[in-house]
Amino acid sequence: MGILEDMLKGQAQERATYAPFWPDQPNLRKLEPIMRSRSSLATITWDLTLFPMDSYEILAPEIKILAQNSMEDNLFIEPAFALAGLQRIEHSGAMLLCLWEEFEKARKLRFFMPVTVQKAGLPRRRLLKNYTHHFAPLGTPLLHRENTGESMETLLRLLGDPALELPKVLVLDWQRMDGAVVGLLRQAATRLGLQFESALVHQRALLAPDRQEKPEDEPYIRAAMGKKRFRESRRQLRKLQELGAVSFEVATRSDEVLNAVEGFLTLEARGWKGRSGTALYSLKQIAAFSRQAVSSLAAEGRCTIYTMKLDGHILASLICFNSSGEYYSWKTAFDEEYRNFSPGVQILIRATGHMLSLSKFSSTDSLAVAEHNLMDHVWRERQNIGSILVGIGTGSANSTIRAASAIERYNRIKQQLKSALGLFR
């Protein structure tokens, strides 16, 4: 045995001590991947598998373990949220991409994300994309925090296996451009000489004050909104209080959350989303998905619903999820009959104060579009969100550059048509 093989065998034995043994689950053992590529050196084997989306429930225990040890959180592809939408949200053609590291008798999931092969951009190009949807606007993959560089390089190598016949370009939408995973992917692509591009980069509102300053809610909000807006919000609240008893409720326990989500669904359905048919309550499948997602996360202590009431009548509601101190403002709604009192702003101000008071709070992602007319005026921090493109396999550099241009072109024309349609209406 050579020096290199001796060294690798020693590393494998050391790493196998913290790798869980292959679970004794017959269903998991019987899973047949749609595609597979393997790479072996000495006693370490890397196994890239793509399973059909319907296999998620069987893989859920492994995905949950990975999520608990991931470089970055993304609860939208974790079991509590993802299983709720498995049979209720369209995922035709989507697959589960898994990268496993195997030892002599052990196997560990190192990387996970749902993917799909589809045509995108203008002109249309065949791409391998991470699978996201309207209710989960965050595409960060789960990457185990151990041996990250090796995992990323192996992922890109195996995706380029000609036997898989995958597209030459990998696209990851809704990425934190300054996040650790994107940084590691960029480094791996550079080391392998693969093209790395970005597209559709924009900023969205983020609540992430400097925790060393220990900000109180009122000074932070006053500074973020500006004196004029802040004074106006206070005036509107006083006027509203003249109409009756105004109360703010924070639901965190499962029973409280289940009651609060029904109030949210009803409130949203009464507004413009209900009239346009886009409210969660408008479609039975989507309403059932929402209830299950909220219920599952609440059971894990990862859901908070803020509610504002006037004499018991709901004026505004905000659903937030959380993961290891990171919060996500998932859905918000308000009673349009009281728009002159800005109930949406009022509930966001109160929610902000509550989150800032939490000892384990780190940040809240608004999940909002760029220049959102509510979030941008209360939360002053910003994060860069966008798509990244990586060439996979030989001869993929030009394809990657052209794909980035095609995606930008398609989005630009789409926005122009949307603006023209708005003016016409």
Model confidence pLDDT, tens digit, residues 177-205? 999 999 999 999 999 999 999 999 999 99
Kindly report the CATH number assigned to the domain that includes residue 334: 3.40.630.30
pLDDT tens, residue by residue, 317-372: 999 999 989 999 999 999 999 999 999 999 999 999 999 999 889 999 999 998 88
Same domain, 263 and 328: yes
**Angle of helix 227-241 versus helix 217-225 axis, rounded to 10:** 120
The reported pLDDT for the residue numbered 221 is 86
d(CA 300, CA 243): 38
Same domain, 189 and 65: yes
Same domain, 272 and 417: no
- Structurally, the chain folds into a number of domains equal to 2
Top pLDDT among 386 and 420 is at 386
The reported pLDDT for the residue numbered 107 is 87
Same domain, 226 and 289: yes
Same domain, 290 and 185: no
Answer yes or no: is 123 within a domain: yes
Whole-prediction pTM: 0.90
Looking at residue 289, its amino acid is: F
Answer yes or no: is 374 within a domain: no
Answer yes or no: is 85 within a domain: yes
Instruction: State the pairing for strand pair 44-52/35-41.
Output: antiparallel
Answer yes or no: is 147 within a domain: yes
Same domain, 218 and 310: yes
Same domain, 296 and 351: yes
Same domain, 309 and 404: no
Answer yes or no: is 79 within a domain: yes
φ/ψ (deg, to 5) at 204: -135, 155
pLDDT tens, residue by residue, 39-98: 876 568 999 999 999 999 999 999 999 999 999 999 999 999 999 999 899 888 999 999
Same domain, 181 and 216: no
Answer yes or no: is 378 within a domain: no
The closest of 161, 151, 214 to 185, measured between CA atoms, is 151
Domain span at residue 157?
A: 3-202+385-424
Same domain, 213 and 244: yes
Same domain, 136 and 39: yes
pLDDT tens, residue by residue, 217-256: 678 888 888 899 999 999 999 999 999 999 999 999 999 9
The reported pLDDT for the residue numbered 19 is 39
Same domain, 174 and 221: no
């036997």: which residue's tokens?
163
d(CA 212, CA 150): 35
Answer yes or no: is 399 within a domain: yes
The closest of 212, 115, 124 to 166, measured between CA atoms, is 115
d(CA 317, CA 305): 7
pLDDT tens, residue by residue, 131-152: 999 999 999 999 999 999 999 9
d(CA 218, CA 240): 19
**pLDDT category, 290, cuts 50, 70, 90?**
very high
Answer yes or no: is 373 within a domain: no
The pLDDT of residue 269 is above 70: yes
Pick the last residue of a domain from 328, 361, 394.
361
